[in-house]
Amino acid sequence: GLAQAIMENPKMLILDEPFNGLDKDGVKEMRKYLLSYKEQGKTILICSHSAEDISVLCNTVHEMDKGVIEGVR
């Protein structure tokens, strides 16, 4: 799915738990790719439970609680 999505070089990626199921090397490569994508000025919308992944990749974070967007940090 992800490989097919990025083949078209979209301006925005929407990812749900992109690191789920990846081994340590896979996580490292995915982070590297996403940081490169971000540096190109493109948008990445990530839904994740991993605070570490979010802190490394995101400029703006919106938190949800029971389906409601609570705040921005």
Locate the domains of the chain by residue range: 2-72
With a cut of 90, say whether residue 71 has pLDDT above it: no
Residue positions annotated with a catalytic role:
17
Domain 2-72 belongs in CATH node 3.40.50.2000: no
Q: Name the more confident of 55 and 2.
A: 55
Q: What is the mean pLDDT of residues 19-34?
A: 92
Which pLDDT belongs to residue 63? 86
Global pTM reads 0.77
Output 43-49 pairs: Cβ under 8 A, ≥24 positions apart: 43/11, 43/12, 43/13, 44/12, 44/13, 44/15, 45/12, 45/13, 45/14, 45/15, 46/15, 46/18, 47/15, 47/16, 47/17, 48/17, 48/18, 48/19, 49/17
With a cut of 70, say whether residue 34 has pLDDT above it: yes
The overall average pLDDT reported for the chain is 87
